[in-house]
Amino acid sequence: MIDYLQVQRLALKNNVSPEIIEKDYFIELILFYFSKDNFLDEKFVFRGGTALKKVYFPEYRFSEDLDFVIDSKKEIKIYQEIIIEILQKISSKCEVIVNPVPVAIGDSYGGGIVAYILQSGDDGYDLNVQHGLIAAAVDQSDGTAWSNIDNTEIGTTAQGIVIGTGQANTDAIIGQAGHTASAAKLCKDYAGGGMTDWFLPSKDELNQLYAQKAVVGGFADSYYWSSSEDNDNSACGQSFSSGGQGDYPKDYDFRVRAVRFF
């Protein structure tokens, strides 16, 4: 069984649609059960694009079919019976859970606490599938610089402000030439709940954490970094005492709280 959070995470990582990940999941289930059948294991020869990806080249393109060669047409009915039995077994035992129960702000979910539910107009909003922002349950730092590079502008790739831009900002900060440490890297390296797609929130994403700080919990009455760069030596931070946002020198030590999307 695979849940939709994992489907989304793998789709984002591999830059493909969630539907491709779902198909690939079931392809692997079929291959697993085929390999466990003594008759098929001895007489089936796996070939084609899917074989190349699964056996030799993990980064090879996703393939949506399975190609096999059999050693004798005389036993074709036996093959058919075994394959039908295996597919029926998979069909009865396996499923993809797509957002089984809607979550609410404050719920423990996806390795953290739900802090925001996407609204119409937000990037990534889907009327039929709930999406939102999850905050880590604890701070990742009680004081760190925005980046070890505090006098060079990254540019527009790290200057997203709205909800949905924190991930790109984070990647741009970490990808800057000479980068070794940053608030963004602390988030990227965080693996709370076994998740590995955490990032430093953008200005507007951080403001949603402030708006729900009592529900999410664990915040200090101090300043927190966002991933939104202002210029060569400053970036946006926010006071979790007053709620005020402003641009501050990148070498200031502010607290850090990672987020991720579901």
Q: What is the pLDDT of residues 163-173, one digit of tens each?
A: 999 999 999 99
Helix (H) or strand (E) holding 133: strand 132-135
Sequence-distant (6+) residues with CB within 8 A of 156 are none
Per-residue pLDDT tens digits for 189-246: 999 988 889 999 999 999 999 999 999 999 999 999 999 999 999 999 999 999 999 9
Q: What pLDDT sits at residue 95?
A: 57
Other beta carbons within 10 angstroms of residue 7's beta carbon come to 21
Task: Give the residue carrying structure tokens 């965080």.
Answer: 190
Report the DSSP beta bridge partners of residue 256. 141
Give 163's contacts (C-beta < 8 A, 6+ positions apart): 116, 118, 122, 123, 133, 202, 204, 205, 208
Distance CA 249, CA 252 (A): 6
Instruction: Quickly state the pLDDT bin for 180 (edges 50, 70, 90).
Output: very high
Euclidean distance between CA atoms 261 and 93, whole angstroms: 29
Exposed/middle/buried for residue 180 (C-beta within 10 Å: 0-12, 13-18, 19+): exposed
Q: Long-range contact list for 117-126, CB < 8 A, 24+ apart?
A: 118/163, 122/163, 122/164, 123/162, 123/163, 123/164, 123/165, 124/164, 124/261
The residues, ordered by sequence, that sit 6+ positions from 190 with a Cβ below 8 Å of its Cβ are 136, 140, 198, 258
Query: Is residue 68's pLDDT more than 80?
Result: no
* Helical ranges in the chain per DSSP H: 4-14, 18-36, 38-43, 49-51, 76-93, 166-175, 183-189, 203-211, 213-216
Residue pair 82/91 in contact by the 8 Å Cβ criterion: no
pTM: predicted TM-score of the whole model, two decimal places: 0.65
Mean pLDDT of 114-137: 89
pLDDT in tens, 8-36: 777 777 777 777 887 888 888 888 888 88
